[in-house]
Structure 1
């Protein structure tokens, strides 16, 4: 049972929303275990976050009444579903999907040709995330716009904590899945064996996955993939636009791009936090947290912790990335990390290959995303191609 506590901070205050990274850095040093009515107990230090990730018996991932496969499960149930999920992100699957991913990214960049300015989030990052997710799942192009709008509504309802709207949005997604799943089931083994069709033939504990489990898996993939990939593409592109020397280096040395992406995203996390709930009373950072209380793991603050990362606010290509919590740690390490890494590499590489320069627009600064999102809401940019259009008076 959650207890009554006084607030140490307000994650939705104007001061926090103006600069979430600075606010998280400040909390890590001032009050590393902090209570808020919105999030419960927030943990900001790398050491405390890693402790939680490596102790699923004390810090449960079952934080919602809704089924969440497998990230909202604890052992042993988590271990029964995890192998089913991991197969879809195996190296051979990523190699097979990469050419299609490259084509999507290249087509989007080509569609920008002739432009002088763009709003990168709306013109590239979000369309890329939606199209590549549909392609990965084997969903038709007709799903691009419904899925984009659904992701927007889901974010707005989560921000407002509008429970009735969140329930309606969940039902809407279930309808999309069932509309695609049933024809594949009717077709049987001779039908379309894309991801959704393949999930219909998966088994756990000697029985096929049921509809609720399939919907949960696809919802987790879709919510996480679309929002986080779009945010990450924006963060990386925005950083390269602001740091011309690094942008030039990445154009000349594309093999270094994966390391650069990991370090940029360590500095400017595309995902703010993740949740747990305590199964017993525990002490963290001198604070006593009772059983059944909510825990929020602040990825942004943990990945900028100077106790773990020397000169943590500086970009360093030679940094040891083993402590980077970009994809989590422990048994719940993100199973989709191989897909995310490939998609980010391909998207940023297409943007660099298809242009001769991306630069910020001084008169139109970017706007930051707000909780629960991170990164940019809008990201205006100058974009240069090999041959720029002639601007007639």
Structure 2
């Protein structure tokens, strides 16, 4: 059984009026991006003042690695409320970018996140206990959003869990550029981080990434307040939004293709590999913006200095030139160089933590929830923009017992 298809958006929309903020694109992304790759792998959209859309794997990877031409420091630069401070290290290019990346990387290596497996599993168990007896839940609210948020707040940055709902709301709304509350949410997120940083300075050291950022030196000088806030801001945006989206997209696929959870229940050892394949098919981090800082070329098209470029990770992940049978979930896929975490200098620093959260979540969900299905009549709508996730995902399953009383 394959995921239900709504068909691609019209050809003229694909070639001339592509808009990454469109809810219609979020609803038809696999089909529409397949049509983009077929019609014009490097297309010029007239929306938002004009920008290029890059959809083939080869071109996406080439541009992402060529930071000297396609700058991350300037982003996409289309309509929308900008953040109060730069998101670091994403909104910087090497060599500056490398300084901030080296600052946070040691706290998210496989060895660094491995001790978080047991507390993450305990958190997963507690969340499942909250709804398993009911035989139904709104999965995004009951599990997908709370899990990575609570894990990140309590394990990675040692932030007060009582602030989580507020921060999650601010992060989610600020990340939709044309949301009328985006600017207000950016300001609210800035203010919360400012207060959080002040509290951490007054408290005892925790030996975490926040301590490292607070005490950092950048090219021989103390890190500035704006750089501190920008780095913590990026950690929050990456830690809260993307893993929640991936969980929602994965469960949506489980509902449509029940043979996948059945196979994984039969052989749980296959779950780590399945996570990689599911991230290829269902990345929540779908695209990223760049600005050409000098003349260049992509897919035979001349790119001029100042041109805006959208690199579409989700499209690259389904390019048949790179992945055989690209729209099919294949547990035995021997080679899987997906770009669900990006590629090049700005590849996601938190990928190991995300994979840990996803693996532990799937192990426990599949062990305890059977007969997972989309609630009858449910119509799924998606968060739109540079990330994609179900806004809600009402599911049903066979009720089971709580593990903790």
Paired with 1:250 and 1:168, the residues of 2 have a C-alpha distance of: 43
Paired with 2:400 and 2:183, the residues of 1 have a C-alpha distance of: 48
The corresponding residue for 2:52 is 41
**Residue 27 (1) aligns with residue 42 (2):** no
Label 1:207 to 1:96 Cα distance change in 2 as closer, same or farther (>3 A): farther
The corresponding residue for 2:320 is 306
Matched-pair contact (CA < 8 Å) for 2:175–2:182:
no
1:210-249 matches, cutoff 5 A: 210-249=224-263
Paired with 1:138 and 1:14, the residues of 2 have a C-alpha distance of: 35
Kindly tell me the number of residue pairs found equivalent between the two proteins: 377
- Deviation (angstroms), 1:92: 2.7
Among 81, 99, 102, the alignment partner of 1:83 is: 102
- Deviation (angstroms), 1:322: 4.1
Matched-pair contact (CA < 8 Å) for 1:9–1:34:
no
Greater shift after overlay, 209-218 or 371-380? 371-380
**Residue 138 (1) aligns with residue 146 (2):** no
Paired with 2:93 and 2:61, the residues of 1 have a C-alpha distance of: 17
Cα distance per residue 1:294-319 (max 9 Å; x no partner)? 11001111111111111111111121
| 3-state SS of 1:114 partner | helix
- Deviation (angstroms), 1:382: 0.8
The corresponding residue for 1:60 is 71
CA-atom RMSD in angstroms: 2.3
- Deviation (angstroms), 1:379: 1.3
Paired with 2:54 and 2:141, the residues of 1 have a C-alpha distance of: 32
Label 1:140 to 1:13 Cα distance change in 2 as closer, same or farther (>3 A): closer
Paired with 2:385 and 2:349, the residues of 1 have a C-alpha distance of: 24
Cα distance per residue 1:254-292 (max 9 Å; x no partner)? 221121122122122212201111121222223222101
Q: How does the TM-score come out when normalised to structure 2? A: 0.86
1:251-266 matches, cutoff 5 A: 251-266=265-280
Among 348, 353, 361, the alignment partner of 1:339 is: 353
Q: How does the TM-score come out when normalised to structure 1? A: 0.89
Stretches of structure 1 that go unaligned for 5 or more consecutive residues are 1-5, 389-393
The corresponding residue for 1:391 is none
Matched-pair contact (CA < 8 Å) for 2:72–2:291:
yes
**Residue 326 (1) aligns with residue 346 (2):** no
The corresponding residue for 2:301 is 287
| 3-state SS of 1:296 partner | strand
Paired with 1:277 and 1:139, the residues of 2 have a C-alpha distance of: 34
- Deviation (angstroms), 1:344: 1.1
Stretches of structure 2 that go unaligned for 5 or more consecutive residues are 1-13, 76-81
